[in-house]
Amino acid sequence: MEKEFLHIIRKNQGIIHKVCNIYCDTEDDRNDLFQEIVVQLWKSYPNFRRESKVSTWMYRVALNTAITSFKKSKRRPDQSSLTYENFQIEDERYDTETEENIKVLHKAIQQLTGIEKSIVLLYLENKKYEEIAEITGITQNYVRVKMNRIKRKLKKLMVTEE
């Protein structure tokens, strides 16, 4: 069972990294969340009945773990510190406008609620509404409604960031 679990994690670790990247700002936080997600996947692995895809199960556990962690971190006082971004030197080879737009989008996504972040992450992964609904545990119709609201919210947030 352990070997099978480790094989699944190795094969699908990109899912965990994506969730960690969307919910965490620092490398240390991403590493902590990654470990916590793997622990939660291990705990839930014996109950995984293979009625859904492995990726759906992993997203569901990873997102629930991240949302729980996100809620806990909101209750803690600000623990901000110096980041790598403060020391970056701009490289001329990059399209700075595109990079800036990505940063603005990322900042806007960081201001979303836990479930909104989950939906955006899955949407950006080109998941169909049906699969997003299955992973998040909400109805497909509600995913559509929520996604439209999130798009409007992100537009407003991005305008205020610029």
In order of their start, the domains of the chain are 1-76 (1.10.1740.10), 96-162 (1.10.10.10)
- Quote the tokens at residue 141: 């119709």
Question: What residues contact 73, with CB distance under 8 A and at least 6 apart?
Answer: none
**In a 10 Å sphere around its CB, with 0-12 CB exposed, 13-18 middle and 19+ buried, how is residue 5 labelled?**
middle
pLDDT score recorded for residue 87:
47
pTM, rounded to two decimals: 0.60
**DSSP state, residue 80:** -
For residue 133, count other CB atoms closer than 10 A to its CB.
Answer: 20
What is the rounded radius of gyration, in angstroms, for the C-alpha atoms of the chain?
17
pLDDT score recorded for residue 41:
94
Helix axes 2-23, 114-124, angle to 10 degrees: 110
Spatial distance between the Cα atoms of 85 and 58, rounded to a whole number of angstroms: 30
Short-list 19, 22, 27, CA closest to 107? 22
pLDDT score recorded for residue 84:
52
CB-facing half-sphere around the CA of 28: CA atoms within 13 A:
6
pLDDT score recorded for residue 75:
54
**In a 10 Å sphere around its CB, with 0-12 CB exposed, 13-18 middle and 19+ buried, how is residue 57 labelled?**
buried
Mean pLDDT per segment of 10 residues, for the chain of length 162 residues? 91 92 89 94 91 90 89 58 51 64 86 89 91 91 94 89 64
Short-list 45, 34, 39, CA closest to 4? 45
